[in-house]
Amino acid sequence: MASLCLNSLPVPPSSHPRKLTETSLSSSSSSLLFVNNNNHSSGASLKPIVVSGSPPTFVSAPGRRILAVGDLHGDLKQARSALQMAGVLSCSDGQDLWTGGESVLVQLGDILDRGEDEIAIMSLLRSLDKQAKAHGGAVFQVNGNHETMNVEGDFRYVESGGFDECIDFLEYINGSNSKDDWEETFTGWVDVSEKWKDNRTMSRNYWGPLNLVKRQKGVIARSILFRPGGLLANELARHAVVLKVNDWVFCHGGLLPHHVAYGIERMNNEVSKWMRGLHENENTLKIPFIATRGYDSVVWNRLYSRDTPELVDYQTKQVCSILEQTLQAVGAKAMVVGHTPQTIGVNCKYNCSIWRIDVGMSSGVLNSRPEVLEIIDNEARIIRSKRDRHSELQAAAYT
């Protein structure tokens, strides 16, 4: 697309400065590292969350504390650590409990691949969403490129343990006493997945990751679950590829002006229908290209996540201009993306118009310590472990 061909773009006009304040904070400022588990408002209950679109596309969540978590890639332990750090999860007596009150949690996709607890993480987030709604909060997810790849049948990045989990999960749902109640069955998987894994590895029939017969069985199980219309493809179809919560837009790779012109809700609907396998015949089942395929699609785009030293000043101005055009078109103050691991941790660029929050926390990526982006009253800051000793932290207030 022309929007990404930097050399073909005209020099952007000078833009008016954004009304925000950006501060770099010493890592000793512990008040920015940890937050209260309760909702930030005191006393009065907040107005209800209003969701527009199916899958959810536009969300009005007045007064809510918003938490954004990046790529998880099948690492349940790190996922739990991130959610506990965000103050929305308590793990006690073997139960995963929502402790976020009326907060809103947004997970930026790429739950799948590179790890062996992918379905367990999906189950956990679905369970937390159910609990959150009972307390006036919510959990939202956006699909990433690894979700769309699996629905396409592209299993290049699936770990052997990921295939094994698919085999276990199919056996689990077939033997479940509540298999007619999908939500109950699905949310229960996270509670028993570790036991299934232990039983599998201790079994005499467990042959290890290199056995071709077992691998074929795993591929078949995964195909059944993730093919368009499959149980887990339908679960992914509940989520958008672009989500706007209040004045913030969330997506996995990055939103561009031509995506907005095409229509955010239209893209979400098309991806959802494709994942559900809703089509008149096989010839009409088309993969939504603008959202899921190509280097500048919503789930693959890395334009905003390239390190600034890679770009000359002219290109940096062009990227900044594209970002500003996109935010203006969608009516947002800032964008939050994952997809590209940030070795320096969660950070913002381009006058803090973009937050990059994929820190590669999964053991299958960088095994970094989790970090979370917190947004309260249009003020964004990073939640990070005290053990990290980065020289500075970023925070920004938007008006």
d(CA 176, CA 124): 18
How far apart are alpha carbons 346 and 382 in whole angstroms?
A: 7
- For residue 207, give the nearest of 153, 167, 172 by alpha carbon: 167
Distance, in Å, from the CA atom of 136 to the CA atom of 27, rounded to the nearest integer, reads 33
Task: From residue 19, give the alpha-carbon distance in Å to each of 15, 75, 195, 333, 334.
Answer: 12, 38, 52, 10, 12
| Cβ-based neighbour number of residue 129 at 10 Å | 18
Distance CA 289, CA 297 (A): 7
Q: Are 260 and 326 in contact (CB under 8 A)?
A: yes
In terms of residues, how long is the chain? 399
**Contacting residues for 397 by C-beta, under 8 A, at least 6 apart:** 20, 21, 378, 379, 380
Q: Which one of the listed residues 16, 135, 146, 279 is annotated catalytic?
A: 146
Residue 274, sorted as left (phi over 0), alpha (psi -120 to 50) or beta, turns out to be alpha
DSSP classification of residue 112 = S
Asked if 259 is an active-site residue, the reply is: no
Q: Rg of the Cα trace of the chain?
A: 21
- Dihedral angle over CA of 361, 363, 367, 372, nearest 10: 10
- In the chain, the amino acid numbered 180 is D
Is the link from the previous residue into 55 a cis peptide, with omega within 30 of 0? yes
- Please give the structure tokens belonging to residue 67: 């938490």
**Active centre residues (catalytic):** 146
